[in-house]
Chain A
Amino acid sequence: MLRVTDLHAFYGRAHILHGVSLEANAGEVVALLGRNGAGKTTAMKAIMGLVPPARGEVAFAGARIDRLPPYRIARMGLGYVPEERRIFTELSVMENLEVGRQAARRGAPTWNADRLFKLFPNLGRMRERPGGRMSGGEQQMLTIARTLMGNPKCVLLDEPSEGLAPIIVHEMAESIRTLKGEGLSVLLCEQNLRFCEAIADRAYIIEKGQIRFGGTMADLAANASLREQYLSV
């Protein structure tokens, strides 16, 4: 579904990604784990075309996307949920969803507002509320719902559990499992290992812009020194 090969990216003059390679297969939930500043968010932005990749390849659903503008990538069915959420604060919940809407897509679950309100019942109770007057957890749900309105085949989720209360994190994990059940592929960035253990099939560990580990969640669970070296704070 998504294959990244030897990806390099810069922020200004700072070389952030040093040859990242990873893969997410259809219907899989893959976690990209790493500490603050390891390059997780940059990897997501580079895949999405928001940071132009300097070198390397990104292929999605069988086509190269590493030279395309973000809107073309989004229209091919790759959804992006940013870490800062970036809700349109002046727009209501319904309008936020409208901005994300795209036509139905073959090979991807089709969403509409009513289906999304089943997935995130809180949102359904505040359809006309402006995005700026929602709690952090509600905003996080709205930003995922907004991306799903584009009927993606695969979504990039940047730290969905960040800053959420434990009970909401739990709900979030449940929602992501539902998405997987719908056949969606997910690549998510996380620092929260336990959250990933609850939902991911496989994981990569990134540090200083390079992939240090790739394997199943079971492999990672069995390797304490790996977790110690790259993930513990």
Chain B
Amino acid sequence: MSYASFVIQLLNGLAAASSLFLVSAGLSLIFGVTRIVNFAHGSLYMLGLYGAYSLIEALGRTPLGFWSAVILAALAVGLVGVVIEVVVLRRIYRAPELFQLLATFAIVLVIKDVALAVWGSEDLVGPRAPGLAFPVEILGRRIPAYDLLLIVIGPVVLAAMWLLLARTRWGALVRAATQDREMVGALGVDQARLFTSVFFVGAVLAGLGGALQIPREPANLDLDLSVIADAFVVTVVGGLGSLGGAFLAAVLIGVAKAFCIGFGFSKLTLVVEFVIMGLVLVMRPYGLLGKPPATARFGEPAPPLQPPRRWPVVAWLVAFAVVPLLGDRYITVLMTDIACFALFAVSLHFIMGPAGMVSFGHAAYFGLGAYAGALLFKKAGLPMELALVLAPFVAGLFAVVYGWFCVRLSGVYLAMLTLAFAQISWSVVFQWDELTAGSNGLVGVWPSMWLSGKPAYYYMTLALCGLGIALLWRALFSPFGYVLRAGRDSPLRAEAIGIDLRAFQWAAFVLAGTLAGLAGAVFAFSKGSISPSSVSIAQSTDGLVMVLLGGVETLTGPVVGAAIFTWLRDTLARETEFWRAALGVVILLIVIVFPQGLVGGLKALYARWRPA
């Protein structure tokens, strides 16, 4: 590597880091004050990029038009943030934290479809920055002047944010609310207005990050989730709530990615940031400049779990069993999907509910189980039955490795690390053409003859997924399950009575991963094919939505959530092109009306009416 190319890649990396820093700073600011992990932050970035594109078209490709467009786009995205805060989030600040997460997922869906409706599905390539399109020669190489400007913008925004937070009353209120928002309210500060203003600033930063990228990156509909994953990584590597940390992390990751591209390892770009995150978190569990959270204020403790009563379960099983007798092929296929996703959701619930470890990357085990089944069958030539039985254990092995790292962390940091492992798995699957056929996926993954009928396969699915769910539920009411719940509610006390909490959490992680793998393998053979989307962030968020929709505090919630989500998605997708937005709106309504999830909400209604 020559000195010149080193410098050029460094500059490339620094230019990319600016936008990454802006969006992460906004995410971190919002999280600090409102405790909401805003999954829609990547969507706001995407809107900034699209908005800048349209505004430049409207205002003209002159320097004045360009910069007005960038600033107006950022401010408009800020207003979108205000609308989100006022219309949705303000109503659910008292709801459990995870439910707010569900609401932001729904917003991701809505924004994606709004963008689809307004800007279409084609990538939109913006103009180069007027007046700054000329290249500058550095060490004999050319680099766009605009990139040099971007390198300056990052630190300028960092300084501006620092001044705002350290030198203004607003900044003092924000920092105070980050620590103890109830006390800030008791001192006469209107939290609602403070939160709205924080959302505005956070959204402007995301919008600006997106708008500034218009000369470098085409606007496209996949940016929302890819940017949010990047922003999570940056925030966590830097340390939640630390602006300086976010800047450092953005530079580290931007530069690392640039070096990967510059030196011909472009395949590594998808993985490198997650490797950095894994390394940082294992060495510094709160990120580079982060501190352990000062006061973790949780909401009310989760109510004790009730074991399912026998008769309703039997009734449900009978109802499930008669489905193929209806003779409707579509319903049988739908019910097969629901059974797979129910096991997937129950296995996710197992670790995030009773064990208290929220996973943003549970699709890793579902997808790896699916791929393991398909590969054992197609490449290793095993009989389908054997492949199906072995596949969950392959997923379980990955859970052994990933889980070892994850259980060392807790809370948001743990969630982000699970996301990182899922994203690493996804990019390996996506890029390893020889083994996994890359983005095309594997086809011809069909079950054996005796299972080839839809009803036969459905019964097998019902049996395997039912057993898996029964096993997980049984475990929750064994001493193992009690230990997990004790560890969730008071980790220190659990350890003080001699429980090796990490070992139990690790075991729970592996058990849940194995059964998610079973769900994936059963799913793969039911479809006859498998694609990388089964390992994707979208699949992970689907699982989260299922669990949260049903209610994380109930046992049967995830099953109900999986059924309703799968059915709704299927039905809406057949009715309208904009099914995501429709689904998002339905989820938002549920979130606002039933803040404990569907099953929890119905139980609360029942409890209220019963004495009357």
For A100, give the chain B residue with the smallest CB separation: B187
Q: Which of these, B169, B176, B185, contacts A88 with CB under 8 Å?
A: B176
Question: CB-CB < 8 A to A88: which residues of B?
Answer: 175-176, 179-180, 183
Instruction: Kindly identify, within residues 32 to 77 of chain A, every residue whose CB is under 8 Å from any CB belonging to chain B.
Output: 48, 50, 69-71, 74-75
Given contacts A12-B300, A98-B169, A99-B172, contact A75 B188 (CB under 8 A): yes
Question: CB-CB < 8 A to A96: which residues of B?
Answer: 176
Asked if residues B172 and A98 are in contact (CB atoms below 8 Å), the reply is: yes
Asked if residues A69 and B176 are in contact (CB atoms below 8 Å), the reply is: no
Chain A 145-162, CB-CB to B under 8 Å as 1, else 0, gives: 011001000000000000
- With the chains together, A68 CA to B66 CA distance in Å? 48
Question: CB-CB < 8 A to B178: which residues of A?
Answer: 90
- With the chains together, A15 CA to B180 CA distance in Å? 26
Asked if residues B179 and A102 are in contact (CB atoms below 8 Å), the reply is: no
Asked if residues B300 and A74 are in contact (CB atoms below 8 Å), the reply is: no
| A201 proximal to B (CB < 8 A) | no
Asked if residues A99 and B294 are in contact (CB atoms below 8 Å), the reply is: no
For A45, give the chain B residue with the smallest CB separation: B186
Asked if residues A90 and B188 are in contact (CB atoms below 8 Å), the reply is: no
- With the chains together, A98 CA to B187 CA distance in Å? 10
Asked if residues A80 and B186 are in contact (CB atoms below 8 Å), the reply is: yes
Asked if residues B294 and A89 are in contact (CB atoms below 8 Å), the reply is: yes
Asked if residues A99 and B184 are in contact (CB atoms below 8 Å), the reply is: yes
Asked if residues B185 and A70 are in contact (CB atoms below 8 Å), the reply is: yes
- With the chains together, A91 CA to B179 CA distance in Å? 10
| A95 proximal to B (CB < 8 A) | yes
| B59 proximal to A (CB < 8 A) | no
Chain B 155-174, CB-CB to A under 8 Å as 1, else 0, gives: 00000000000000100110
A91: min CB distance to chain B, Å: 6
| B191 proximal to A (CB < 8 A) | yes
B176: min CB distance to chain A, Å: 4
Q: Which of these, B173, B185, B187, contacts A146 with CB under 8 Å?
A: B187
Asked if residues B190 and A86 are in contact (CB atoms below 8 Å), the reply is: no
- With the chains together, A80 CA to B188 CA distance in Å? 10
| B302 proximal to A (CB < 8 A) | no
Question: CB-CB < 8 A to A147: which residues of B?
Answer: 187
| A82 proximal to B (CB < 8 A) | yes
A187: min CB distance to chain B, Å: 15
Instruction: Kindly identify, within residues 166 to 218 of chain B, every residue whose CB is under 8 Å from any CB belonging to chain A.
Output: 169, 172-173, 175-176, 178-180, 182-191
Asked if residues A74 and B188 are in contact (CB atoms below 8 Å), the reply is: yes
Interface centre among B184, B186, B191, B294 (most CB of A within 10 A): B186
- With the chains together, A101 CA to B184 CA distance in Å? 11
- With the chains together, A169 CA to B190 CA distance in Å? 33
Asked if residues A150 and B187 are in contact (CB atoms below 8 Å), the reply is: yes
Given contacts A88-B176, A99-B172, contact A50 B182 (CB under 8 A): yes
Question: CB-CB < 8 A to A50: which residues of B?
Answer: 182, 186
Question: CB-CB < 8 A to B300: which residues of A?
Answer: 12
Interface centre among A70, A98, A150 (most CB of B within 10 A): A70
Q: How many residues of A contact B (CB 8 A)?
A: 25
- With the chains together, A70 CA to B173 CA distance in Å? 16
Q: Which of these, A74, A90, A95, contacts B186 with CB under 8 Å?
A: A74
Asked if residues B179 and A89 are in contact (CB atoms below 8 Å), the reply is: yes
Chain A 74-117, CB-CB to B under 8 Å as 1, else 0, gives: 11000010100010111100011011111000000000000000
A93: min CB distance to chain B, Å: 12
Interface centre among B173, B185, B191, B294 (most CB of A within 10 A): B185
Asked if residues B173 and A99 are in contact (CB atoms below 8 Å), the reply is: yes
Asked if residues B191 and A91 are in contact (CB atoms below 8 Å), the reply is: no
Question: CB-CB < 8 A to A89: which residues of B?
Answer: 179, 294
Given contacts A91-B172, A98-B169, A99-B172, contact A150 B188 (CB under 8 A): yes
Asked if residues A86 and B188 are in contact (CB atoms below 8 Å), the reply is: no
For B294, give the chain A residue with the smallest CB separation: A89
Instruction: Kindly identify, within residues 50 to 70 of chain B, every residue whose CB is under 8 Å from any CB belonging to chain A.
Output: none
A151: min CB distance to chain B, Å: 10
Question: CB-CB < 8 A to B184: which residues of A?
Answer: 99
For A147, give the chain B residue with the smallest CB separation: B187
A196: min CB distance to chain B, Å: 23
Asked if residues A71 and B189 are in contact (CB atoms below 8 Å), the reply is: yes
For B184, give the chain A residue with the smallest CB separation: A99
- With the chains together, A204 CA to B180 CA distance in Å? 31
Asked if residues A71 and B175 are in contact (CB atoms below 8 Å), the reply is: no
Interface centre among B187, B188, B189 (most CB of A within 10 A): B188
Question: CB-CB < 8 A to A99: which residues of B?
Answer: 172-173, 176, 184, 187, 189
Asked if residues B189 and A90 are in contact (CB atoms below 8 Å), the reply is: no
Given contacts A12-B300, A89-B294, A98-B169, contact A70 B176 (CB under 8 A): no
B438: min CB distance to chain A, Å: 48
- With the chains together, A101 CA to B168 CA distance in Å? 13
Instruction: Kindly identify, within residues 101 to 142 of chain A, every residue whose CB is under 8 Å from any CB belonging to chain B.
Output: 101-102
Question: CB-CB < 8 A to B182: which residues of A?
Answer: 50, 70
Instruction: Kindly identify, within residues 350 to 383 of chain B, every residue whose CB is under 8 Å from any CB belonging to chain A.
Output: none
- With the chains together, A50 CA to B186 CA distance in Å? 8
Question: CB-CB < 8 A to A82: which residues of B?
Answer: 183, 186
Question: CB-CB < 8 A to B191: which residues of A?
Answer: 71
- With the chains together, A51 CA to B543 CA distance in Å? 35
For A69, give the chain B residue with the smallest CB separation: B185
B508: min CB distance to chain A, Å: 27
Question: CB-CB < 8 A to A71: which residues of B?
Answer: 185-191
Asked if residues A70 and B186 are in contact (CB atoms below 8 Å), the reply is: yes
Interface centre among A80, A86, A91, A98 (most CB of B within 10 A): A86
Instruction: Kindly identify, within residues 422 to 461 of chain B, every residue whose CB is under 8 Å from any CB belonging to chain A.
Output: none
Question: CB-CB < 8 A to A70: which residues of B?
Answer: 182, 185-186
- With the chains together, A147 CA to B169 CA distance in Å? 16
- With the chains together, A100 CA to B172 CA distance in Å? 10
- With the chains together, A129 CA to B9 CA distance in Å? 43
Chain B 262-303, CB-CB to A under 8 Å as 1, else 0, gives: 000000000000000000000000000000001000001000
Q: What 19 new A-B contacts, CB under 8 Å, besides A50-B186, A98-B169, A150-B187?
A: A12-B300, A48-B186, A70-B186, A71-B185, A71-B191, A80-B187, A82-B183, A88-B183, A89-B179, A89-B294, A90-B175, A90-B179, A95-B172, A95-B175, A99-B176, A99-B184, A99-B187, A100-B187, A100-B188
Can you name 21 A-B pairs with beta carbons within 8 Å? A48-B186, A71-B187, A71-B188, A71-B189, A71-B191, A74-B187, A74-B188, A75-B188, A80-B187, A82-B186, A88-B179, A89-B294, A90-B178, A90-B179, A91-B172, A95-B172, A95-B175, A99-B172, A99-B189, A101-B169, A147-B187
Please give me the 8 A-B residue pairs with the lowest Cβ-Cβ distance, nearest first. A74-B188, A88-B176, A86-B183, A95-B172, A99-B176, A70-B185, A70-B186, A71-B185
